[in-house]
């Protein structure tokens, strides 16, 4: 029974995380598919560039909620199971990154990961958000803020676990979830190194599609 519950939780977490708020909001408010513009991602940053601040704010709250909801679902399905919470958080990140509803073309997963983290380990989540905010304020590079915020999450969560302040299963979320978030930003890293990364506030150009 426990294995079946964990399997169901993983599937539900993925399906919740896969809800493409960026695609939905972009089409409803601006009549565009945000995947055709800018970075092609469905997250808040690309929505801001292509559909404006109102759409971006709606997507931000939606993506945060996609991370929170599966962890809360884990509390209900498997009470007091840190493994269930970690699995739910990872499932949500995977769903956002590769959504079945949107041709497996999703976002980078940062907001969804933070949403899960804020439920699992609020202080670590706030620390990661703080790092993100400071980096973006100083550089206007959202991608750099997301990457460094993710690294802060990994370091913070691992440290809390080693100190006994958080349960050991959270290491799975830190290492697996963190690795996915960093991997999803690989193109941003290359653009940052090349000096071609867009800063916050710059408009996203239509992507060229090769036939």
Question: Using CA atoms, how far apart are residues 55 and 43, in angstroms rounded to an integer?
Answer: 11
Residue 57, Cβ density class (10 Å: 0-12 exposed, 13-18 middle, ≥19 buried): middle
- pLDDT given at position 39: 78
Span 123-152, pLDDT tens digits:
999 999 999 999 999 999 999 999 999 999
pTM: predicted TM-score of the whole model, two decimal places: 0.92
Span 174-198, pLDDT tens digits:
999 999 999 999 999 999 999 888 8
- pLDDT given at position 50: 87
- pLDDT given at position 205: 58
- In the predicted structure, residue 52 carries a pLDDT above the cut 60: yes
Span 155-171, pLDDT tens digits:
999 999 999 999 999 99
For residue 89 the two structure tokens come to 């958080």
- pLDDT given at position 211: 36
In the DSSP assignment, the letter for residue 80 is: T
Question: Using CA atoms, how far apart are residues 200 and 180, in angstroms rounded to an integer?
Answer: 23
Residue 7 has φ and ψ, to the nearest 5°, of: -65, -45
Number of other residues whose CB lies within 10 A of the CB of residue 103 = 11
- In the predicted structure, residue 82 carries a pLDDT above the cut 90: yes
The percentage of residues in the chain with a pLDDT greater than 70, rounded to a whole number, is 94
């Amino acid at each position: 029974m426990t294995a079946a519950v964990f399997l169901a939780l993983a599937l539900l977490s993925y399906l919740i995380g896969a809800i493409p708020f960026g695609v939905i909001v972009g089409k409803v408010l601006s009549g565009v598919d945000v995947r055709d513009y800018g970075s092609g991602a469905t997250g808040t940053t690309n929505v801001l560039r292509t559909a404006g601040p109102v759409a971006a704010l709606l997507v931000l709250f939606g993506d945060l909620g996609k991370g929170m909801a599966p962890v809360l679902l884990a509390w209900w399905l498997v009470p007091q199971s840190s493994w269930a919470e970690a699995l739910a958080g990872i499932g949500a990140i995977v769903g956002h990154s590769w959504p079945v509803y949107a041709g497996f073309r999703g976002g980078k997963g940062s907001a969804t990961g933070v949403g899960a983290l804020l439920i699992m380990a609020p202080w670590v989540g706030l620390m990661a958000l703080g790092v993100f905010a400071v980096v973006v304020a100083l550089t206007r590079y959202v991608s750099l803020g997301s990457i460094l915020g993710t690294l802060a999450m990994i370091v913070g969560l691992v440290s809390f676990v080693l100190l006994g302040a958080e349960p050991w299963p959270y290491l799975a979320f830190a290492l697996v979830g963190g690795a996915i978030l960093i991997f999803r930003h690989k193109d941003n890293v290359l653009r940052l190194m090349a000096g071609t990364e867009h800063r916050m506030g710059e408009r996203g150009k239509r992507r060229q599609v090769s036939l």
